[in-house]
Structure 1
């Protein structure tokens, strides 16, 4: 279900937002993170000899990182701290004291800040940016220019699915958003979507590489965005990251994270989700029950599928993923002046759409959740989640209590991704065009300027659409409004007009003769991949 409503805030007073409360008590929160990480590591490694070995390994890796891969956003005292740590380890300073010092440093590096005024200013800026980006005709003179901004945005920014449920559960528990990940814009899009739904601000982990840019560093530093440094794989750092994310949920902050770990390089729906990330809500729920019993707040997991007619990084991402021995000049992303002018023209004068489809919520054990927050099993029987936790086997050194349930949650999230994936006209056009190109006898991924006869295209387009209709009827995929109209010519025309609309060189264009010309096969492949995993290739066999 799609919504065009303007939602009121579920909590209008900013001083009562969970993220505001956390940052007002940040010293207490950060101390909890330090204590939790120290306790966890001390329990796992009780012997000083093992702790010294971990500290030595951590120090060695950090000094190697400083030497080989320094970043502008790294702490100024990075080298001096780790050189001093190496000397302290050599002098056999108390192991626990040194470990605590490392943990405290990592916590300071990771931690975020939040400013209500900063958030409101950025939110307004993002809103207006998307209004003009998605619907630029409002720049022109005429009646539409003077419509309310939220109405202009809602015409092109589509919030679909469980909108009422997410608002209801955000008021009685803590929500964890687990969207698909295709673009660096995804966090901004999700933030805007939650703002449109009237939800309080989210917190999420952003790659530290984004903080290398002064502008991004200024923006993210005050939005409650904690930092994730993917260069660091040391045991203490990974423990601190995990505990930081878990405690944010325990404090009731609504959170966003990408279970796929990174952007989908191929453009396809993710199916390989990270178990470590999905275990964080489970741990937070377990500690909530331990601390507050049956009345503890629940953690609700919402799968979300994002879809764009154009992903700005598509050309770069697909070329990172597909290995070609020697890329021809025509296959490389174009960065010349003409291309940049075309890109700027497209941004200013061509509109697009974004689809945010919110799936049905799950609890941390994979049970279905209704709008009241009650859990149900696959047979529709009510589940007492607190009792379900009490019935779990005792944790052992060899098996985590969460293992089976995290795998179940992963399976259900992936299933939701596929069923909530919204078929865009542009993705359908890309899928059919690429599959037809593949049937060429001399097909190769580095080919350019492939011509497809329009009549052949429309025949294959019709067969593919019929296969998708069957999936849609069985609720195995979702449709945008134009896909529901059953007008093939209109769907094909819309898809061709919007496919890769902001790219300097469009992957697929119409020729003067009325046929279709593939100008960038790799980028077309990227958009085609959004509809893989549904067995549609059988239409072309």
Structure 2
């Protein structure tokens, strides 16, 4: 597999130097930049103290007496410190090893019982092909990777996403990509070893000042200019609600357009292609924690997280016991590639406008005199429009799982039983509502019909396990998944009925259908109230 990232280490010093030079020369007011950094860092470090706090206090006290050259040199010093701290590393030997080790790692996470039973087979990547499926225009993306730089922008549900997406790239025959990872993850020695050697660059989310953000964006931009394929999660963080992202944070995504403009200005245009993708899980590892975070933020004082310390050990033991019986599934679906302006791109890298006409992407960045120009205001608008196309791709290429359908049908029964559209009032009806299995299956059949209509229109995808399956079997599949994974029962069997027990998780999984108008949308309900 040929990819620029395999020679990254030999270019690392040059990349860092380019980042430092760009940040230093691009900062118009070094006094303001350093003062802003000193202010934020002093506030951050006040509780911990130490030499770092003393350093920033000393700087803050001397900034007013420093000459412009001294300020510029101090700015360069900090930019270089941050750039080296951010910079990743890539070891082809570790990549080769990780490609082999990924199968047992993901196998243990996605279906641990089968890994225990078949240890030799677990070290074969093909052993995961039935559990983690990769769909979409893979050959198209491969061709674009030979023409320019590919920037992957997937949905984000779990801390497993980076690992799972790396597996998807491997199985699709696509080159590995660089990506930013929270610096806190590097404290884990095992994760740190792999991430530090597989192109991940460190993002310290504690640092809020403009200088650090400038370094991060410059690093990302320079990587793309040099042809290193990249991965960003445009949602910014994991989806707490479980819903498909509809609002994006496009700061790093904007570096793709900036890289395109900068290389064009140099007369060496580097084509940049964005590939949206959806990561779709039958079950989400952190669903309970995520939905609690979401509800606490939404409801403030109206929602209290229950945490019985006396039962914590028992809950962990129950979780592990259920996990051993899990046979889960995941589908990664790549969307049609886009250029930096949201136009679809063909196999040869040609951009096509909404009317299907071939357009020259360079024409979008020409100024009044007809020559390319870097215009941050204009480019921010282009990036916003790109974000809209990415959101459309997310909805169109969402893969609906049995757990999503059954949760949506059960939650609608819960809402009707509660007799209110108020989300927090509905959630309090834990164990108060039961539904006959047969009636739930009828609801599932109706939901499947609606989803198939949407699929025929190209607006969503059904998981392969749902093709031609009777609604009773869909209910059974969801029940097996729920009962074999979460610490509490989501739907508790009681004779021919199912008691709606964990209302939070019903909300979490049904939220995956909200973007398609098929799940309960608490925001829409609140707007009607």
TM-score (ref. length: structure 2): 0.89
Any conservation in 1 of the 2:107–2:122 contact (CA below 8 Å)? no
SS at match of 1:300: strand
Change in Cα spacing, 1:474 to 1:104, as seen in structure 2 (3 Å) is: same
Give 1:152 deviation, angstroms: 2.0
Residue 487 of structure 2 aligns with which residue? 504
Which of 400, 411, 435 is the aligned partner of 1:423? 400
More deviation in 456-465 or 429-438?
456-465
Residue 237 of structure 1 aligns with which residue? 212
Q: Distance in 2 between matches of 1:479 and 1:229?
A: 38
Query: Is 1:304 the equivalent of 2:290?
Result: no
Give 1:394 deviation, angstroms: 8.0
Any conservation in 1 of the 2:100–2:125 contact (CA below 8 Å)? no
Provide the alpha-carbon RMSD of the alignment: 2.8
Residue 6 of structure 1 aligns with which residue? none
Query: Is 1:320 the equivalent of 2:306?
Result: no
Any conservation in 2 of the 1:374–1:383 contact (CA below 8 Å)? yes
Which of 464, 467, 471 is the aligned partner of 1:488? 471
More deviation in 95-104 or 129-138?
129-138
Q: How many residues align?
A: 510
Any conservation in 2 of the 1:133–1:351 contact (CA below 8 Å)? no
Q: Distance in 2 between matches of 1:332 and 1:60?
A: 40
SS at match of 2:27: helix
Query: Is 1:269 the equivalent of 2:244?
Result: yes
Q: Distance in 1 between matches of 2:412 and 2:490?
A: 14
Residue 107 of structure 1 aligns with which residue? 83
Give 1:396 deviation, angstroms: 9.5
Which of 31, 39, 53 is the aligned partner of 2:17? 31
Give 1:488 deviation, angstroms: 1.3
Cα deviation code 1:158-216 (max 9, x no counterpart): 10111221222112211100000111111111111111122222110111222233433
Any conservation in 2 of the 1:395–1:401 contact (CA below 8 Å)? no
Change in Cα spacing, 1:91 to 1:320, as seen in structure 2 (3 Å) is: same
Residue 14 of structure 1 aligns with which residue? none
Query: Is 1:432 the equivalent of 2:409?
Result: yes
Which of 426, 436, 453 is the aligned partner of 1:470? 453
Change in Cα spacing, 1:367 to 1:326, as seen in structure 2 (3 Å) is: closer
Change in Cα spacing, 1:331 to 1:437, as seen in structure 2 (3 Å) is: farther
Q: Residues 344-383 of structure 1 correspond to what in structure 2 (within 5 A)?
A: 344-383=320-359
SS at match of 2:385: helix
Residue 20 of structure 1 aligns with which residue? 6
Any conservation in 1 of the 2:323–2:485 contact (CA below 8 Å)? yes
Residue 422 of structure 2 aligns with which residue? none
Residue 428 of structure 2 aligns with which residue? 446
Residue 215 of structure 1 aligns with which residue? 190
Give 1:412 deviation, angstroms: 0.7
Q: Distance in 2 between matches of 1:192 and 1:270?
A: 22
SS at match of 2:418: coil
Cα deviation code 1:45-66 (max 9, x no counterpart): 3xxxxx3233223112112212
Residue 46 of structure 2 aligns with which residue? 67
Query: Is 1:85 the equivalent of 2:32?
Result: no
Q: Distance in 1 between matches of 2:406 and 2:122?
A: 32
Cα deviation code 1:212-271 (max 9, x no counterpart): 334333332222211112222212111111111111101111100011111111110111
Change in Cα spacing, 1:504 to 1:101, as seen in structure 2 (3 Å) is: same
| Unpaired stretches in structure 2, ≥5 consecutive residues | 420-424
Q: Distance in 2 between matches of 1:518 and 1:332?
A: 21
Any conservation in 2 of the 1:314–1:523 contact (CA below 8 Å)? yes
Change in Cα spacing, 1:333 to 1:487, as seen in structure 2 (3 Å) is: farther
Residue 381 of structure 2 aligns with which residue? 404
Q: Distance in 2 between matches of 1:333 and 1:309?
A: 29
| Unpaired stretches in structure 1, ≥5 consecutive residues | 1-8, 12-16, 46-50, 71-75
Any conservation in 2 of the 1:330–1:448 contact (CA below 8 Å)? no
Residue 162 of structure 2 aligns with which residue? 187
Give 1:35 deviation, angstroms: 0.5
